[in-house]
Protein backbone atom coordinates (compact mmCIF):
# COMPACT_ATOMS: atom_id res chain seq x y z
CA UNK A 1 0.00 0.00 0.00
CA UNK A 2 1.28 3.47 -0.93
CA UNK A 3 1.74 5.69 2.13
CA UNK A 4 0.43 9.25 2.18
CA UNK A 5 2.64 11.98 3.67
CA UNK A 6 1.16 15.25 2.37
CA UNK A 7 -2.03 17.19 3.04
CA UNK A 8 -2.90 17.08 -0.65
CA UNK A 9 -2.49 13.32 -0.71
CA UNK A 10 -4.60 12.95 2.42
CA UNK A 11 -7.40 15.06 0.96
CA UNK A 12 -7.38 13.04 -2.27
CA UNK A 13 -7.43 9.78 -0.32
CA UNK A 14 -10.36 10.91 1.80
CA UNK A 15 -12.31 12.08 -1.25
CA UNK A 16 -11.79 8.72 -2.99
CA UNK A 17 -12.90 6.79 0.10
CA UNK A 18 -15.97 9.00 0.47
CA UNK A 19 -16.86 8.39 -3.17
CA UNK A 20 -16.64 4.63 -2.70
CA UNK A 21 -18.66 4.84 0.50
CA UNK A 22 -17.56 1.50 1.96
CA UNK A 23 -16.05 0.57 5.30
CA UNK A 24 -13.21 -1.19 3.47
CA UNK A 25 -12.33 2.04 1.64
CA UNK A 26 -12.32 3.99 4.91
CA UNK A 27 -10.07 1.41 6.56
CA UNK A 28 -7.66 1.49 3.63
CA UNK A 29 -7.48 5.27 3.92
CA UNK A 30 -6.74 5.06 7.64
CA UNK A 31 -3.97 2.53 7.04
CA UNK A 32 -2.31 4.60 4.30
CA UNK A 33 -1.66 7.88 6.15
CA UNK A 34 1.70 8.39 7.86
CA UNK A 35 1.28 9.39 11.54
CA UNK A 36 4.09 11.93 11.08
CA UNK A 37 1.83 13.83 8.69
CA UNK A 38 -0.75 14.32 11.44
CA UNK A 39 2.00 15.65 13.70
CA UNK A 40 3.17 18.14 11.04
CA UNK A 41 -0.33 19.36 10.31
CA UNK A 42 -0.88 20.14 14.00
CA UNK A 43 2.56 21.47 14.99
CA UNK A 44 3.96 22.89 11.74
CA UNK A 45 7.66 23.00 10.90
CA UNK A 46 10.41 25.04 9.28
CA UNK A 47 9.27 26.64 6.05
CA UNK A 48 10.90 24.76 3.12
CA UNK A 49 11.89 28.13 1.67
CA UNK A 50 14.58 28.33 4.37
CA UNK A 51 16.55 25.62 2.58
CA UNK A 52 17.03 27.74 -0.54
CA UNK A 53 17.90 31.03 1.15
CA UNK A 54 21.17 32.65 0.13
CA UNK A 55 22.31 32.67 3.79
CA UNK A 56 20.30 30.04 5.66
CA UNK A 57 20.66 29.72 9.44
CA UNK A 58 23.64 27.67 10.53
CA UNK A 59 23.09 24.37 12.34
CA UNK A 60 24.63 24.92 15.76
CA UNK A 61 23.88 21.59 17.40
CA UNK A 62 21.77 18.47 17.32
CA UNK A 63 19.89 17.06 20.27
CA UNK A 64 16.90 14.80 20.69
CA UNK A 65 13.65 16.14 19.31
CA UNK A 66 11.44 15.86 22.37
CA UNK A 67 8.37 17.92 21.48
CA UNK A 68 7.50 18.81 17.86
CA UNK A 69 7.15 22.29 16.43
CA UNK A 70 9.48 25.19 15.74
CA UNK A 71 10.49 27.73 18.37
CA UNK A 72 12.13 31.10 17.64
CA UNK A 73 13.23 33.57 20.29
CA UNK A 74 15.95 35.24 22.30
CA UNK A 75 18.23 32.96 24.29
CA UNK A 76 17.37 32.97 28.01
CA UNK A 77 19.22 30.91 30.62
CA UNK A 78 16.65 30.93 33.44
CA UNK A 79 12.89 30.81 33.80
CA UNK A 80 13.04 34.30 35.32
CA UNK A 81 14.84 35.59 32.23
CA UNK A 82 12.06 34.12 30.08
CA UNK A 83 9.43 35.99 32.08
CA UNK A 84 11.41 39.23 31.76
CA UNK A 85 11.74 38.80 27.99
CA UNK A 86 8.03 38.06 27.58
CA UNK A 87 7.23 41.17 29.63
CA UNK A 88 9.34 43.17 27.13
CA UNK A 89 7.26 41.71 24.31
CA UNK A 90 9.92 39.28 23.06
CA UNK A 91 9.60 35.60 22.25
CA UNK A 92 12.04 33.62 24.39
CA UNK A 93 13.77 30.25 24.30
CA UNK A 94 14.72 28.71 27.64
CA UNK A 95 18.19 27.14 27.32
CA UNK A 96 19.60 25.35 30.38
CA UNK A 97 21.19 22.15 31.63
CA UNK A 98 17.87 20.69 32.79
CA UNK A 99 14.54 21.86 34.15
CA UNK A 100 12.64 21.21 37.36
CA UNK A 101 9.09 21.89 38.60
CA UNK A 102 10.30 25.24 39.97
CA UNK A 103 10.89 26.38 36.36
CA UNK A 104 7.42 25.59 35.08
CA UNK A 105 6.00 29.13 34.99
CA UNK A 106 8.88 30.26 32.76
CA UNK A 107 8.63 27.07 30.70
CA UNK A 108 4.98 27.72 30.03
CA UNK A 109 5.77 31.20 28.69
CA UNK A 110 8.70 30.08 26.52
CA UNK A 111 8.50 29.71 22.74
CA UNK A 112 10.75 26.66 23.06
CA UNK A 113 13.02 24.77 25.44
CA UNK A 114 16.56 23.41 25.01
CA UNK A 115 18.45 21.35 27.59
CA UNK A 116 21.93 19.89 27.54
CA UNK A 117 20.84 16.96 29.72
CA UNK A 118 17.89 14.60 29.71
CA UNK A 119 16.04 12.51 27.18
CA UNK A 120 12.50 12.08 25.88
CA UNK A 121 11.25 11.07 29.34
CA UNK A 122 12.97 13.93 31.20
CA UNK A 123 11.06 16.67 33.03
CA UNK A 124 11.63 19.20 30.22
CA UNK A 125 10.46 16.78 27.53
CA UNK A 126 7.34 15.56 29.32
CA UNK A 127 6.20 19.04 30.34
CA UNK A 128 6.89 20.52 26.89
CA UNK A 129 4.91 17.80 25.12
CA UNK A 130 2.03 18.25 27.52
CA UNK A 131 1.85 21.96 26.74
CA UNK A 132 2.64 21.71 23.03
CA UNK A 133 5.90 23.68 23.36
CA UNK A 134 8.77 22.78 20.99
CA UNK A 135 11.68 21.20 22.84
CA UNK A 136 15.12 19.77 22.10
CA UNK A 137 16.87 17.86 24.89
CA UNK A 138 20.18 16.11 25.39
CA UNK A 139 22.32 18.60 23.43
CA UNK A 140 25.46 16.99 24.81
CA UNK A 141 28.02 19.38 23.28
CA UNK A 142 26.32 22.49 24.69
CA UNK A 143 27.91 24.12 27.75
CA UNK A 144 25.75 26.60 29.68
CA UNK A 145 27.59 29.58 31.19
CA UNK A 146 26.50 32.54 33.29
CA UNK A 147 25.52 34.78 30.37
CA UNK A 148 26.08 32.60 27.31
CA UNK A 149 26.17 29.07 25.95
CA UNK A 150 29.01 27.46 24.05
CA UNK A 151 28.50 24.89 21.32
CA UNK A 152 31.90 23.72 20.16
CA UNK A 153 33.81 26.86 19.18
CA UNK A 154 30.66 28.98 18.92
CA UNK A 155 29.67 31.29 21.78
CA UNK A 156 26.08 32.58 21.90
CA UNK A 157 25.21 35.37 24.32
CA UNK A 158 21.91 35.77 26.09
CA UNK A 159 19.50 37.90 24.08
CA UNK A 160 20.64 36.40 20.76
CA UNK A 161 17.82 35.13 18.55
CA UNK A 162 18.06 31.41 17.78
CA UNK A 163 15.66 28.74 16.54
CA UNK A 164 14.91 25.12 17.34
CA UNK A 165 13.05 22.32 15.58
CA UNK A 166 11.53 20.07 18.21
CA UNK A 167 10.82 17.38 15.65
CA UNK A 168 14.30 16.96 14.19
CA UNK A 169 16.32 18.09 17.23
CA UNK A 170 18.04 20.96 15.39
CA UNK A 171 19.32 24.09 17.13
CA UNK A 172 19.88 26.88 14.59
CA UNK A 173 21.85 30.14 14.70
CA UNK A 174 19.15 32.63 13.75
CA UNK A 175 15.44 33.14 13.24
CA UNK A 176 13.71 30.89 10.71
CA UNK A 177 10.43 31.23 8.92
CA UNK A 178 7.82 28.92 10.36
CA UNK A 179 5.25 26.91 8.44
CA UNK A 180 2.45 27.09 10.98
CA UNK A 181 0.41 24.10 12.00
CA UNK A 182 -3.27 24.40 12.77
CA UNK A 183 -2.85 23.64 16.48
CA UNK A 184 -6.01 21.57 16.06
CA UNK A 185 -7.43 18.66 14.07
CA UNK A 186 -9.42 20.87 11.72
CA UNK A 187 -7.16 20.65 8.65
CA UNK A 188 -9.41 19.79 5.68
CA UNK A 189 -9.73 16.02 5.50
CA UNK A 190 -7.86 15.32 8.72
CA UNK A 191 -10.93 15.49 10.93
CA UNK A 192 -12.71 13.03 8.63
CA UNK A 193 -9.77 10.62 8.59
CA UNK A 194 -9.49 10.66 12.39
CA UNK A 195 -13.22 9.98 12.73
CA UNK A 196 -12.68 6.90 10.55
CA UNK A 197 -9.77 5.87 12.78
CA UNK A 198 -12.12 6.13 15.77
CA UNK A 199 -14.60 3.94 13.89
CA UNK A 200 -11.89 1.30 13.47
CA UNK A 201 -10.95 1.45 17.16
CA UNK A 202 -14.49 1.36 18.45
CA UNK A 203 -14.40 0.12 22.04
CA UNK A 204 -11.28 -1.98 21.53
CA UNK A 205 -8.55 0.57 22.26
CA UNK A 206 -9.28 3.81 24.07
CA UNK A 207 -7.07 6.86 23.57
CA UNK A 208 -6.79 8.91 26.75
CA UNK A 209 -4.72 11.93 27.76
CA UNK A 210 -2.19 12.78 30.44
CA UNK A 211 -3.67 16.01 31.77
CA UNK A 212 -3.41 17.81 35.12
CA UNK A 213 -5.14 21.17 34.70
CA UNK A 214 -8.43 22.45 33.32
CA UNK A 215 -6.86 23.87 30.15
CA UNK A 216 -5.02 20.58 29.55
CA UNK A 217 -8.27 18.64 29.90
CA UNK A 218 -10.10 21.00 27.53
CA UNK A 219 -7.30 20.75 24.97
CA UNK A 220 -7.28 16.96 25.25
CA UNK A 221 -11.01 16.84 24.52
CA UNK A 222 -10.58 19.11 21.51
CA UNK A 223 -8.03 16.62 20.15
CA UNK A 224 -10.42 13.70 20.64
CA UNK A 225 -9.30 12.20 23.95
CA UNK A 226 -11.80 9.80 25.50
CA UNK A 227 -10.84 10.63 29.07
CA UNK A 228 -7.79 11.20 31.24
CA UNK A 229 -5.57 8.19 31.84
CA UNK A 230 -3.10 10.06 34.04
CA UNK A 231 -3.82 13.11 36.18
CA UNK A 232 -0.53 13.77 38.00
CA UNK A 233 -1.41 15.31 41.34
CA UNK A 234 2.18 16.39 42.02
CA UNK A 235 1.83 18.91 39.19
CA UNK A 236 -0.79 20.67 41.33
CA UNK A 237 1.75 21.30 44.10
CA UNK A 238 3.97 23.76 42.27
CA UNK A 239 4.64 27.50 42.42
CA UNK A 240 3.60 29.07 45.69
CA UNK A 241 2.37 25.67 46.91
CA UNK A 242 5.88 24.24 47.02
CA UNK A 243 6.39 25.78 50.44
CA UNK A 244 3.36 23.93 51.81
CA UNK A 245 4.76 20.63 50.53
CA UNK A 246 8.09 21.41 52.18
CA UNK A 247 6.29 22.27 55.41
CA UNK A 248 4.48 18.94 55.33
CA UNK A 249 7.56 16.87 54.53
CA UNK A 250 9.76 18.56 57.12
CA UNK A 251 7.10 18.84 59.83
CA UNK A 252 8.42 17.89 63.27
CA UNK A 253 5.01 17.63 64.94
CA UNK A 254 1.68 16.00 64.08
CA UNK A 255 -0.01 19.40 64.33
CA UNK A 256 2.29 20.98 61.74
CA UNK A 257 1.88 18.02 59.40
CA UNK A 258 -1.92 18.06 59.71
CA UNK A 259 -2.18 21.80 59.07
CA UNK A 260 -0.04 21.55 55.92
CA UNK A 261 -2.08 18.58 54.68
CA UNK A 262 -5.36 20.42 55.21
CA UNK A 263 -4.13 23.42 53.21
CA UNK A 264 -2.85 21.21 50.40
CA UNK A 265 -6.09 19.23 50.40
CA UNK A 266 -8.23 22.32 49.87
CA UNK A 267 -6.07 23.44 46.95
CA UNK A 268 -6.13 19.97 45.41
CA UNK A 269 -9.89 19.76 45.83
CA UNK A 270 -10.39 22.97 43.89
CA UNK A 271 -8.00 21.97 41.09
CA UNK A 272 -9.43 18.48 40.71
CA UNK A 273 -13.01 19.73 40.67
CA UNK A 274 -12.15 21.93 37.71
CA UNK A 275 -10.56 19.03 35.83
CA UNK A 276 -13.54 16.76 36.52
CA UNK A 277 -16.00 19.38 35.28
CA UNK A 278 -13.92 19.99 32.15
CA UNK A 279 -13.76 16.25 31.37
CA UNK A 280 -17.33 15.27 32.39
CA UNK A 281 -18.77 12.72 31.71
CA UNK A 282 -15.56 11.04 30.54
CA UNK A 283 -13.39 9.00 32.94
CA UNK A 284 -10.46 10.47 34.89
CA UNK A 285 -7.72 8.43 36.54
CA UNK A 286 -6.03 10.36 39.34
CA UNK A 287 -2.54 9.25 40.28
CA UNK A 288 -1.72 9.96 43.88
CA UNK A 289 1.50 11.82 44.58
CA UNK A 290 4.57 10.47 42.77
CA UNK A 291 7.49 12.85 42.60
CA UNK A 292 11.12 12.46 43.64
CA UNK A 293 11.66 14.42 46.83
CA UNK A 294 14.43 16.59 45.36
CA UNK A 295 11.83 18.18 43.05
CA UNK A 296 10.06 19.55 46.13
CA UNK A 297 12.83 20.02 48.66
CA UNK A 298 15.81 20.93 46.47
CA UNK A 299 18.82 22.11 48.46
CA UNK A 300 16.66 22.69 51.54
CA UNK A 301 16.26 18.97 52.26
CA UNK A 302 17.36 18.02 55.76
CA UNK A 303 19.85 15.22 56.09
CA UNK A 304 17.25 12.46 56.57
CA UNK A 305 15.54 13.34 53.24
CA UNK A 306 18.66 13.69 51.07
CA UNK A 307 19.08 10.97 48.47
CA UNK A 308 21.87 10.07 46.06
CA UNK A 309 19.40 8.65 43.52
CA UNK A 310 16.03 10.37 44.04
CA UNK A 311 14.39 8.66 41.05
CA UNK A 312 14.80 5.36 42.89
CA UNK A 313 14.25 6.80 46.33
CA UNK A 314 11.36 7.84 48.56
CA UNK A 315 8.67 8.53 45.99
CA UNK A 316 5.28 7.16 45.06
CA UNK A 317 3.75 4.64 47.43
CA UNK A 318 6.97 4.59 49.47
CA UNK A 319 6.41 8.14 50.69
CA UNK A 320 2.80 7.23 51.47
CA UNK A 321 3.95 4.36 53.69
CA UNK A 322 6.22 6.75 55.61
CA UNK A 323 3.59 9.51 55.81
CA UNK A 324 0.22 7.76 56.08
CA UNK A 325 -1.72 11.01 56.07
CA UNK A 326 -0.62 11.93 52.54
CA UNK A 327 -2.68 9.52 50.45
CA UNK A 328 -5.55 9.67 52.94
CA UNK A 329 -5.67 13.44 52.43
CA UNK A 330 -5.49 13.10 48.66
CA UNK A 331 -8.31 10.54 48.65
CA UNK A 332 -10.52 12.91 50.63
CA UNK A 333 -9.62 15.76 48.27
CA UNK A 334 -10.67 13.65 45.28
CA UNK A 335 -13.96 12.68 46.94
CA UNK A 336 -14.68 16.31 47.82
CA UNK A 337 -13.85 17.37 44.25
CA UNK A 338 -16.27 14.76 42.93
CA UNK A 339 -19.00 16.14 45.18
CA UNK A 340 -18.27 19.68 43.98
CA UNK A 341 -18.33 18.61 40.32
CA UNK A 342 -21.55 16.65 40.76
CA UNK A 343 -23.16 19.60 42.55
CA UNK A 344 -22.22 21.71 39.51
CA UNK A 345 -24.20 19.35 37.29
CA UNK A 346 -21.32 17.23 36.02
CA UNK A 347 -21.15 13.45 35.98
CA UNK A 348 -17.88 12.09 37.32
CA UNK A 349 -16.08 8.83 36.63
CA UNK A 350 -12.97 8.71 38.79
CA UNK A 351 -10.36 6.06 39.49
CA UNK A 352 -7.42 6.32 41.90
CA UNK A 353 -3.99 4.98 41.01
CA UNK A 354 -1.22 4.00 43.43
CA UNK A 355 2.21 4.62 41.88
CA UNK A 356 5.57 2.83 42.00
CA UNK A 357 4.36 -0.34 43.71
CA UNK A 358 6.90 -3.12 44.16
CA UNK A 359 5.39 -5.51 46.70
CA UNK A 360 1.94 -6.96 47.17
CA UNK A 361 2.10 -6.11 50.87
CA UNK A 362 2.65 -2.37 50.36
CA UNK A 363 -0.11 -2.26 47.73
CA UNK A 364 -2.55 -4.05 50.05
CA UNK A 365 -1.63 -1.80 53.00
CA UNK A 366 -2.02 1.54 51.24
CA UNK A 367 -5.05 0.43 49.22
CA UNK A 368 -6.67 -0.42 52.56
CA UNK A 369 -6.10 3.13 53.77
CA UNK A 370 -7.61 4.56 50.57
CA UNK A 371 -10.64 2.26 50.72
CA UNK A 372 -11.19 3.20 54.37
CA UNK A 373 -11.40 6.88 53.39
CA UNK A 374 -13.81 6.07 50.56
CA UNK A 375 -16.05 4.05 52.90
CA UNK A 376 -16.02 6.76 55.55
CA UNK A 377 -16.97 9.38 52.97
CA UNK A 378 -19.98 7.40 51.75
CA UNK A 379 -19.26 8.46 48.21
CA UNK A 380 -22.18 8.58 45.83
CA UNK A 381 -20.02 7.44 42.92
CA UNK A 382 -17.83 4.31 43.01
CA UNK A 383 -14.04 4.68 42.75
CA UNK A 384 -11.84 1.96 41.35
CA UNK A 385 -8.40 1.72 42.96
CA UNK A 386 -5.62 0.43 40.74
CA UNK A 387 -1.87 0.05 40.55
CA UNK A 388 0.68 1.76 38.35
CA UNK A 389 3.06 -0.96 37.16
CA UNK A 390 6.45 0.72 36.83
CA UNK A 391 8.90 -1.66 38.47
CA UNK A 392 9.98 -5.00 36.96
CA UNK A 393 9.07 -6.70 40.24
CA UNK A 394 5.49 -5.44 40.06
CA UNK A 395 5.23 -6.66 36.47
CA UNK A 396 6.58 -10.09 37.39
CA UNK A 397 4.16 -10.25 40.36
CA UNK A 398 1.20 -9.10 38.25
CA UNK A 399 -1.02 -12.04 39.17
CA UNK A 400 -0.66 -11.36 42.88
CA UNK A 401 -0.90 -7.59 42.34
CA UNK A 402 -4.20 -7.95 40.48
CA UNK A 403 -5.85 -9.37 43.62
CA UNK A 404 -5.43 -5.90 45.17
CA UNK A 405 -5.86 -3.73 42.05
CA UNK A 406 -9.00 -3.15 40.01
CA UNK A 407 -6.92 -1.97 37.05
CA UNK A 408 -3.32 -1.71 35.87
CA UNK A 409 -1.63 1.21 34.18
CA UNK A 410 1.90 0.65 32.95
CA UNK A 411 4.28 3.54 33.49
CA UNK A 412 6.65 2.62 30.69
CA UNK A 413 9.08 5.49 31.30
CA UNK A 414 10.15 4.10 34.68
CA UNK A 415 9.69 0.49 33.61
CA UNK A 416 12.14 1.05 30.74
CA UNK A 417 14.54 2.85 33.07
CA UNK A 418 14.60 -0.03 35.53
CA UNK A 419 14.69 -2.85 32.98
CA UNK A 420 17.72 -1.32 31.25
CA UNK A 421 19.32 0.07 34.41
CA UNK A 422 19.53 3.45 32.66
CA UNK A 423 18.72 6.90 34.05
CA UNK A 424 16.11 8.42 31.78
CA UNK A 425 17.45 11.86 32.75
CA UNK A 426 21.13 11.18 32.06
CA UNK A 427 21.37 8.62 29.29
CA UNK A 428 21.20 11.17 26.46
CA UNK A 429 24.16 13.13 27.78
CA UNK A 430 26.94 10.82 26.61
CA UNK A 431 25.72 7.31 26.03
CA UNK A 432 22.72 7.20 23.73
CA UNK A 433 24.38 8.67 20.63
CA UNK A 434 27.33 6.24 20.55
CA UNK A 435 25.09 3.29 21.37
CA UNK A 436 22.76 4.09 18.48
CA UNK A 437 25.64 4.76 16.08
CA UNK A 438 27.24 1.39 16.90
CA UNK A 439 23.95 -0.46 16.66
CA UNK A 440 24.08 -1.47 20.34
CA UNK A 441 20.52 -0.19 20.65
CA UNK A 442 18.22 -0.54 17.62
CA UNK A 443 16.43 2.63 18.79
CA UNK A 444 16.22 4.87 21.83
CA UNK A 445 14.14 2.69 24.22
CA UNK A 446 12.68 5.79 25.85
CA UNK A 447 11.29 6.88 22.46
CA UNK A 448 10.24 3.51 21.04
CA UNK A 449 9.18 0.72 23.40
CA UNK A 450 11.79 -2.04 23.67
CA UNK A 451 10.36 -4.99 21.67
CA UNK A 452 12.68 -7.60 23.20
CA UNK A 453 11.99 -7.29 26.93
CA UNK A 454 9.77 -4.36 27.96
CA UNK A 455 6.93 -5.05 25.50
CA UNK A 456 6.88 -8.80 26.29
CA UNK A 457 6.95 -7.93 30.00
CA UNK A 458 3.86 -5.74 29.55
CA UNK A 459 2.16 -8.55 27.62
CA UNK A 460 3.02 -11.23 30.20
CA UNK A 461 1.92 -9.03 33.13
CA UNK A 462 -1.34 -8.26 31.33
CA UNK A 463 -2.06 -11.96 30.84
CA UNK A 464 -1.16 -12.83 34.42
CA UNK A 465 -3.28 -10.00 35.80
CA UNK A 466 -6.33 -11.09 33.81
CA UNK A 467 -5.98 -14.69 34.92
CA UNK A 468 -6.14 -13.52 38.52
CA UNK A 469 -8.82 -10.90 37.85
CA UNK A 470 -10.85 -11.63 34.69
CA UNK A 471 -11.82 -8.44 32.90
CA UNK A 472 -8.92 -6.47 34.40
CA UNK A 473 -8.61 -3.16 32.55
CA UNK A 474 -5.05 -2.45 31.43
CA UNK A 475 -3.69 0.84 30.15
CA UNK A 476 -0.36 2.50 29.41
CA UNK A 477 0.39 6.06 30.49
CA UNK A 478 4.10 6.42 29.75
CA UNK A 479 5.29 8.55 26.86
CA UNK A 480 5.28 5.42 24.68
CA UNK A 481 1.49 5.79 24.70
CA UNK A 482 1.81 8.53 22.06
CA UNK A 483 4.46 6.86 19.87
CA UNK A 484 3.10 5.01 16.79
CA UNK A 485 5.75 2.25 16.82
CA UNK A 486 5.18 1.61 20.51
CA UNK A 487 1.40 1.63 20.10
CA UNK A 488 1.66 -1.26 17.62
CA UNK A 489 3.54 -3.29 20.26
CA UNK A 490 1.09 -2.32 22.99
CA UNK A 491 -1.91 -3.39 20.91
CA UNK A 492 -0.21 -6.77 20.41
CA UNK A 493 0.38 -6.89 24.17
CA UNK A 494 -3.38 -6.68 24.72
CA UNK A 495 -3.81 -3.33 26.48
CA UNK A 496 -7.21 -1.66 26.59
CA UNK A 497 -6.02 1.95 26.40
CA UNK A 498 -3.08 4.24 25.79
CA UNK A 499 -2.69 7.64 27.43
CA UNK A 500 -0.41 10.39 26.17
CA UNK A 501 0.14 14.14 26.16
CA UNK A 502 -2.86 16.07 24.75
CA UNK A 503 -1.00 17.17 21.62
CA UNK A 504 -0.14 13.53 20.82
CA UNK A 505 -3.75 12.32 21.05
CA UNK A 506 -4.54 12.71 17.30
CA UNK A 507 -1.45 10.69 16.34
CA UNK A 508 -2.36 8.03 18.91
CA UNK A 509 -5.91 7.80 17.54
CA UNK A 510 -4.55 7.09 14.07
CA UNK A 511 -1.75 4.77 15.20
CA UNK A 512 -4.03 2.66 17.40
CA UNK A 513 -6.43 2.17 14.49
CA UNK A 514 -3.56 1.25 12.17
CA UNK A 515 -2.28 -1.27 14.72
CA UNK A 516 -5.67 -2.93 14.88
CA UNK A 517 -5.91 -3.05 11.08
CA UNK A 518 -2.45 -4.61 10.88
CA UNK A 519 -3.29 -7.15 13.58
CA UNK A 520 -6.63 -8.13 12.09
CA UNK A 521 -5.24 -8.34 8.55
Q: Which residues, 6 or more positions from 287, have their beta carbon under 8 angstroms from its beta carbon?
A: 230, 231, 232, 233, 353, 355, 388
Residue 63's CB is within 10 A of a number of other CB atoms, namely 26
Closest C-alpha among 432, 507, 489, 429 to residue 194: 507
Angle at 114 between CA 110 and CA 116, to 5 degrees: 150
Q: Is 91 helix (H, G, I), strand (E, B) or coil?
A: coil
What is the helix (H) or strand (E) element at residue 392, kind and residue range? Answer: helix 392-396
Pairwise CA distance, residues 480 & 507, whole Å: 12
Helical H runs in 236-357? 242-249, 254-279, 293-297, 317-322, 325-343
Pairwise CA distance, residues 476 & 499, whole Å: 6
Q: Which residues, 6 or more positions from 472, have their beta carbon under 8 angstroms from its beta carbon?
A: 402, 405, 406, 407, 408, 462, 465, 466
Radius of gyration of the chain (CA): 23
Residues with active-site annotation: 123, 477
Q: Which residues, 6 or more positions from 76, have their beta carbon under 8 angstroms from its beta carbon?
A: 82, 84, 85, 92, 93, 94, 95, 106, 110, 158
Amino acid sequence: MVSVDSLEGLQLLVAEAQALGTAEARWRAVAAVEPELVERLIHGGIDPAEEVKENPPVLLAMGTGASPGVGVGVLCLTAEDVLDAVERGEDALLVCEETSPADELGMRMAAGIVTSRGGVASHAAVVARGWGIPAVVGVSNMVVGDDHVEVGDVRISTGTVISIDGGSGQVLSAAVQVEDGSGAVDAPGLDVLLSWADEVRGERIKVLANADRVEDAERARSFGAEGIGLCRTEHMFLGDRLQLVKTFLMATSPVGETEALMALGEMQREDLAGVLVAMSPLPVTVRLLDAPLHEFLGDEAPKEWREHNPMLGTRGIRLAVLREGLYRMQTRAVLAAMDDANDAGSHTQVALMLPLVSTVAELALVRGWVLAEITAWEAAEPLAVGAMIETPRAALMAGEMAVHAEFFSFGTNDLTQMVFGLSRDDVQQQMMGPYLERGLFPADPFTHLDPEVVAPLVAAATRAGRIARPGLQVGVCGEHGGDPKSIHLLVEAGVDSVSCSPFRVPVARLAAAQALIARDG
